[in-house]
Amino acid sequence: MIKKIILFIGVFVIISTVGPFLDCWRFDERIYFSPLEMDLKLIEAVHNDVGYAPNIARIFHNKAQLGAFFVFDSYLYFFDIRFLAPIFSLVGYVGIFWGFWYLFGLKNKFRQFIISLLLVLPFIEIFKLIDNTFARALIISVPYFVLSIFGIWQFLKSHKWIGVLVVLILVVLSVWYTDVFGSGIVDACSKV
């Protein structure tokens, strides 16, 4: 019972921290696929190959290569270890790590479902497949939210009083640090 109460408090803290960000969440401009930017980079790269045979230049500098690298690099952004750190509270952020840890211990459809979501959803943001910013932010954050709660609950279940203590400490620190997160909302919103 006490573990469920702790979990509930943790979820409350996570929601109260994540919630304000969803309204103003803007991803970094550099992760959005821009054909114009790709063309400009291609022109610059080809110009730097002055004196070389055009075929050689085209082997190394072409839209396929630049596009692939751009999408790949943007995709990596969503798997950065600090991704969502400014948005989720401390307990929520640690919960995500626990979520991944316990997820790989499962061998069921839940694991496959969550992993599939995490692998596919970033493309929605990279290619702006949905116009509404709030909707995109919500779609991206939900799997991590679920993962965080799952991770916290698994941690509480697999550890006795020490698990309760650790999560409680994280919750207290999260609330204490809310000042830092709160004052950084405006900056974080434009950076994340």
Partner 1 sequence: MKFLLLFALITIGGFLRIFNVDQNPPGLYIDEVSIGVNAYEILTRGVDEHGVSFPLFFEAFGEYKMPAYIYLVSGAMAVVGKIDLAVRLPSIIFGILTIPLLYLFIRKLIELNPKQIQNNKFQISKFKIPIVAAALLALSPWHIHFSRAGFEANVALFIFLLGSYFGLLFWSNKKYKFLILCFIFFSLTLYTYNAYRVISPLMVLIISLFIFLKFIKFRKKVVAALIGFALLILPVVQFSMTEAGATRFDDVSAFTKYEDRSSQEKLKIYPMEVMNNYFSYFSLEFLFSTGDNNNRHQLPGFGLVWRWLIPFTLIGFYQSMHRKNKLFKYSFLTMLLLAPLPASIVQPNPHSLRSLLMVLPLTVFAAYGLVWFFEHFKKYKLLVAFCLLLISFYEFSLFMHNYYFHYPRANSPDWGAGYKQMTLRMNEIKSGYDHIVVDQNLSNASSYIDFYGDGIEPLYVDTSWTKPDAWDEEDVLYVRPFYGNREGEYIIENIYLPQRDDIHAQFWKL
Rule CB under 8 A: which residues touch partner 1? 45, 48-49, 52, 60, 65, 69, 72-73, 76-77, 79-82, 85, 104, 176-177, 179-180
Query: b/e for 156-173, b at 16 or more Cβ within 10 A?
Result: beeeeeebbebbeebbee
Q: How far is the CB of 159 from partner 1 (least distance, A)?
A: 20
Q: How far is the CB of 186 from partner 1 (least distance, A)?
A: 17
Measured CA to CA, the distance from residue 18 to residue 96 in angstroms comes to 13
Q: Which two tokens stand for residue 44?
A: 């610059």
Cβ closest to partner 1, residue 16 vs residue 48? 48
Q: Do residues 120 and 111 lie in contact, with contact meaning Cβ atoms separated by under 8 Å?
A: no
Q: What are phi and psi of 107, to 5 degrees?
A: -135, 60
Which ranges of 78-132 would DSSP assign to H, the alpha helix? 90-103, 109-120, 122-126
Measured CA to CA, the distance from residue 77 to residue 146 in angstroms comes to 20
Measured CA to CA, the distance from residue 94 to residue 73 in angstroms comes to 25
Q: How far is the CB of 135 from partner 1 (least distance, A)?
A: 25
What amino acid occupies position 22? L
Measured CA to CA, the distance from residue 118 to residue 97 in angstroms comes to 14
Cβ closest to partner 1, residue 12 vs residue 79? 79
Cβ closest to partner 1, residue 75 vs residue 163? 75
Cβ closest to partner 1, residue 19 vs residue 182? 182
Q: How far is the CB of 81 from partner 1 (least distance, A)?
A: 5
Q: How far is the CB of 104 from partner 1 (least distance, A)?
A: 8
Cβ closest to partner 1, residue 1 vs residue 186? 186
